[in-house]
Amino acid sequence: MNPYLLTLTFLMLMSILTSSEVVRFSQNNLGNQLHGHFQESLATTEDVRAHAALDDFRAHSSENKEEEEAKEEKKPRKPSNSVHRSAPLGFNMARPPNNSRLNFYLIIHEEPHKDYPLSIYETAARLMRNLYGDAAFFKPNVEYRLLDALIALKEETDGFTYPDELSTLTLGDPELQAAFYSMLKGAEGCPSLLNFITFDEEGTRDMKKVNLMFAAPCVVEALINDPQMSERLLALRDAFWEEILEQEAHRLERRKEECKNRSLLKQELREGFERILLDAGLDYNSYKWVFDLSLGKLGNILFVEDPQTAFVRREKYVPIKR
C-alpha cells in the first residue's frame, strides 16, 4: 500500500478512537457531576426507599449485635491487635418507630395499664386542641364528640392496621364527619392528624407507649400537659440527638469502647428523665408506662418532608424483595 495512504488511514483511525474516548470521558464526567448533585439535593421518595431498605439490614445487624456481644463475653478472649469499631445504631429519621405516634387503637379498644398516670382519652383531646384549636372547623367540644363517636364504632375498626382506615368510618353527624375529614387531610394551614397517630393492635408492650426520641413535640406536650416539664424533656432529647448524630458521623474513626450502644443511651436517657420528674415531684415508676426511651425499631411508614413548603408526605414502607 502507498505509504501516504497508510499514514492517512492510521491518522483517521486514531482520530476516531480519540473522539470515542473524549465522548466516554465527557459522559462519565457528566454522570459524576449529576450523581454529586443528586447526593446533595433533597432525597426523593425513591431515594428514601432505597436508604430505608439499607437501614433494614443495618437495624437488624444492630439489634442482633448486642446479643452476639453478650455471647462473646462468655468466651475466652484471644489477644488481638485489630481495632474493633462499633456497629451503627440502626435508626432512620424518615422511618420513625410506629410508637413515636399516639396509638388510637388503645383509645378505642383498651384500658391503659392500672399504673398509667394519664388518660389516653384526654391526651388525644389535648393533641387535637393543640393542632386545630384555632381552625374554623374546630367547634367547642368537637374533640370529645369525635372520640366518643370513634369509641362507639369499636367493632367497625376491627382489623384496621393503619390510621388512614379511620377515614372510612361513617360517624353519623355531617358536621363531625367534615371536621374529622379536615383533621385527617390537614386543612387551614394545619398538618394532618395522621402524622401524629398510629393504629397498632399487635406488638410488644412498648407499642402501648410513645417513643420519646422520635415523638413530635406536640405529642410530648399532649402527654406531659406541663409546659415547663415538656420544655425540659424536649431539651434533654435534643441534647441526646446531638450526641447520637455526632457519634454516628465519626463512628468509623473511633474504637468500639468510645461509642455508646443502644442500651447505654437508653439508660442515660432514663436517668435524665428521672431527674426531670424528681424536680417536678413526680415518680418515674408511673411514667415508665408512658414513654419508650429506646431508639425503637424502624416503622412501616415513610415520612418525606419538602424543605420549601414543610409539607410532609406519608406512604407505607414496602420492603424491597431480594
pLDDT tens-digit profile of 106-155?
A: 888 876 666 666 788 999 999 999 999 999 999 999 999 999 999 999 99
Whether residue 58 is contained in a domain is answered as: no
Q: Which domain holds residue 104?
A: 98-226+294-316
Cβ proximity of 198 and 102 under 8 Å: yes
Residue 74 pLDDT grade (very low, low, confident, very high; cuts 50, 70, 90):
low
| pTM for this predicted structure | 0.74
User: CA Rg, the chain, in Å?
Assistant: 27
Which grid coordinates are listed for 218?
406536640
Q: How far apart are CA 216 and CA 210, in angstroms?
A: 10
Cβ proximity of 212 and 269 under 8 Å: yes
Whether residue 108 is contained in a domain is answered as: yes
Q: Which amino acid is at 195?
A: N
Whether residue 52 is contained in a domain is answered as: no
Whether residue 214 is contained in a domain is answered as: yes
Q: What is the mean pLDDT of the chain?
A: 79
End-to-end CA distance of the chain: 59
Whether residue 287 is contained in a domain is answered as: no
Instruction: Give the chain's domain count.
Output: 1
Whether residue 184 is contained in a domain is answered as: yes
In the chain, the percentage of residues whose pLDDT exceeds 70 is 70
Cβ proximity of 212 and 97 under 8 Å: no
CA 196 to chain centre: 11
Whether residue 262 is contained in a domain is answered as: no
In the chain, the percentage of residues whose pLDDT exceeds 90 is 50
CA dihedral 95, 101, 105, 106 (to 10 degrees): 140
Which grid coordinates are listed for 26?
465527557
Whether residue 300 is contained in a domain is answered as: yes
